[in-house]
Structure 1
Amino acid sequence: MIKKILLALLAVILLLSIFYYDVLSYGFMQARGQISILMNVEKVDDILSDQNFPDSLKRRIRLIQEIKQFGVDSLGLEPSENYTTFYNQHGRPLIWLITASERYKIEPHEWHFPIVGTFPYKGFFDSTRAVSEEKELMKKGLDTDIGDVSAWSTLGYLKDPILSSMLKRKDGSLANLILHELTHGTLFVKNNLELNENLASFVGDQGAIRFLKYKYGAESPEMRTYEYSKKYNDAYSQHMLRGTVRLDSLYKTFGNEKAADARKDTLKKQLIRQIIDDTDTLLSGTQTLTTKKRLADDKLPNNAYFISYLTYKSKQEIFLKEFESKFAGDLKAYLQYLKKQYPSM
């Protein structure tokens, strides 16, 4: 009897392994990549006591520690062991992110994973595997976008290290990045990446402003630099979000036919060209884009590029309105409210 049960369990395991081969293979690859990083990190305390490590970079590491503590004390982010280790990338990117969308619809292609849920993007520690995945998506007629990312969050399950590339960022950008990732470890709602990433972007922005004021003052060069950068980035994001509406309106005139069509592709490319070229008018009077080269047709973004703005920036006005009207600028109280509103993983 026991033998039959064991054989039945083995059969079930084999069937599941076959059915979920891609998921298991991907999970193994991601685990191997993450473990490889964790096996090669150094303790921050050791780095700071190393006389051969440049003092200028030690100051950047101490700044990260200060940003993290500010996030915990002043913003109500969860304490964690994140950023207590350091990983030297030696100038190489670590993870590549793929986003995909329908050819004639601004709709994200989604990947489904056990436990963590559904995601509108997929990350790879192996660039070869990432490119291979992108080619398969393109064969299916999907628009794709691929690029390396500057940080990621393991939601508190592992100690996320300080990456050497972080140390090159300006103070405001660094604060934004650290607070963004720490927000994921504080509140992360399963199967709602648009809410998760928009919230982390909102806390990163608002938290960075508060940190810079606290450390340098409201009229400091660091604050002015960040405010100008934020003003342009916000304008660019809103422009791209308006672009998604314009593209969706165009695609609705195409009907439900998904097959590639030269006429449709021409109209699509013309509109994307117009959206991208119109960025030259953002923050008119500045020198931000006056020397920007016109992109060649084969370098123009596609629907997948616009998906990222929906994922990260589409709810900023909603968060800001609620934050200002109900919480009078108290970010810590707002986060506590959101944690009660949404069940976090």
Structure 2
Amino acid sequence: MTLVFRTLALILLIAVLSGCAGPAYYAQAISGQLEILAKRRPVEDVLNDHATPAQTRRQLELVQRLRDFASRELLLPNNRSYRTYADLERPFAVWNVYAAPELSLEPKRWCFLVAGCVPYRGYFAHDQAEQFAASLKQKGYDVYVGGVPAYSTLGWFDDPLLNTFIHKDEAELAGLLFHELAHQKIYVSGDSAFNESFATVIELEGIKRWFQQGGNAKEAEAYRLKVQRREEFSALVLKHRARLKEIYASDSSDAEKRAAKVRVFEELRNDYAILKSGWNGYAAFDNWFKQDLNNAHLAAIVLYNQYVVVFQTLLAQHGGDLATFYREVERLAQLPPDERAVVLQTRMLAANPLKRE
């Protein structure tokens, strides 16, 4: 499909979205995507450009190897995605707005034609994201705005490499590519926890296999520590989230729930300080804790972790055979939503009996 036809398809797609947003939102989505498409350049052209900084050139050469590895070893789509480069001249590709009621962990959702109903709404301009977040705050919602370095158009377009993530270290760059390509491999409309958990497992497995086949040993060890600390961070957040869930479901008054909520977030900060004291100066999550934490922040964390153990267990059951694993994930994806949720929850508890999320 030519760029013109794809662009028209995008405009049609956005135009027939559900009534969750008005024309202004559709306009910024169209212009934002078109800007990215217009700025794309073939990686080969960027590499041959004498004005390209040496560090950028090295990263693009690394990406070429990672991209080929993804298709050859991880059986991810072999297409033109991540074969071009675009400099957006900003720190993030989009900013996602998350929201949740003051005394509930159930995130607000917005519905779109292809993506389905998701617990966030994306903006290509930071100020527009903040304006929308402010309007939600006025309605009493807990709100969180998070910058996103990359996103997948799910195969509608050939997604480019971006300046927003190209200078990440080897492991993080590999993980991002594998994660976004996984969304092109399997995606269930409206089931964000399924999609993100699946993509996270492909990200983790892909990085492991990349380093096993000759990646930088020092980078591999640094990545192992990052994963360990990310898991410890997630476990800490989910533990306190479980306490909040009990508080919000209790018969306490709203005033009592608000007071308990404040205490839980204070304890979360204190427990993080204790956890971090054993990390030898590693501070990747400090900025997260510098914010005014609320229920919306927790929605973003759960989104990427909820069913990771289910997919990791499934992959292990098939001896790491990705082709078989993908077929099994496709079967889960094709189940009716309610049935799929029951199956995933049952398998999650079987893999981790102590988990009650």
**Alignment TM-score, normalising by the size of structure 1:** 0.85
State the Cα distance separating 1:254 from its structure 2 match: 4.8
Indicate the residue corresponding to 2:328 in structure 1: 337
2: CA distance, partners of 1:295 / 1:44: 34
Contact 1:280 1:290 (8 Å CA) reproduced: no
Indicate the residue corresponding to 2:3 in structure 1: none
Indicate the residue corresponding to 2:49 in structure 1: 50
1:197 is aligned to 2:190: no
Percent of aligned pairs sharing the same letter: 25
Contact 2:100 2:106 (8 Å CA) reproduced: yes
Contact 1:99 1:109 (8 Å CA) reproduced: yes
Q: Report which stretch shifted further, 60-69 or 85-94.
A: 85-94
Q: Deviations over 1:226-273 (max 9, x none)?
A: 001111001111221222111101112255x7xxx5543222111111
Indicate the residue corresponding to 1:280 in structure 2: 273
Indicate the residue corresponding to 1:7 in structure 2: none
Superposed counterparts of 1:27-176, under 5 Å: 27-176=26-175
After superposition, the Cα gap between the structure-2 partners of 1:291 and 1:310, relative to the gap in structure 1 and judged at 3 Å, is closer
After superposition, the Cα gap between the structure-2 partners of 1:101 and 1:341, relative to the gap in structure 1 and judged at 3 Å, is same
SS in 2 for 1:135: helix
SS in 1 for 2:166: helix
Contact 2:95 2:145 (8 Å CA) reproduced: yes
Contact 1:280 1:289 (8 Å CA) reproduced: no
1: CA distance, partners of 2:179 / 2:227: 15
State the Cα distance separating 1:72 from its structure 2 match: 1.0
> Which of these residues, 244, 249, 257, is aligned with residue 247 of structure 1?
244
State the Cα distance separating 1:290 from its structure 2 match: 8.7
> Which of these residues, 307, 314, 318, is aligned with residue 327 of structure 1?
318
Contact 1:72 1:79 (8 Å CA) reproduced: yes
1: CA distance, partners of 2:190 / 2:160: 25
Q: Deviations over 1:34-69 (max 9, x none)?
A: 101211222211001112212322121121121121
1: CA distance, partners of 2:123 / 2:94: 5
Contact 1:41 1:87 (8 Å CA) reproduced: yes
Contact 2:276 2:282 (8 Å CA) reproduced: no
After superposition, the Cα gap between the structure-2 partners of 1:332 and 1:102, relative to the gap in structure 1 and judged at 3 Å, is same
Contact 1:96 1:124 (8 Å CA) reproduced: yes
Indicate the residue corresponding to 1:299 in structure 2: 291
After superposition, the Cα gap between the structure-2 partners of 1:104 and 1:75, relative to the gap in structure 1 and judged at 3 Å, is same
Indicate the residue corresponding to 2:207 in structure 1: 208
Contact 1:323 1:331 (8 Å CA) reproduced: yes
SS in 1 for 2:165: helix
Structure label with greater radius of gyration: 1
2: CA distance, partners of 1:290 / 1:111: 33
Number of equivalent positions: 320
Corresponding letter in the other structure for 2:238: L
State the Cα distance separating 1:184 from its structure 2 match: 0.5
1:231 is aligned to 2:223: no
State the Cα distance separating 1:291 from its structure 2 match: 12
After superposition, the Cα gap between the structure-2 partners of 1:274 and 1:44, relative to the gap in structure 1 and judged at 3 Å, is same
State the Cα distance separating 1:209 from its structure 2 match: 1.3
Indicate the residue corresponding to 1:188 in structure 2: 187
SS in 1 for 2:145: strand
2: CA distance, partners of 1:67 / 1:271: 42
Indicate the residue corresponding to 1:10 in structure 2: none
Corresponding letter in the other structure for 2:233: Y
Q: Report which stretch shifted further, 282-291 or 171-180.
A: 282-291
State the Cα distance separating 1:91 from its structure 2 match: 4.3
Corresponding letter in the other structure for 1:273: E
Runs of at least 5 residues in structure 1 that lack an aligned partner in the other structure: 1-15
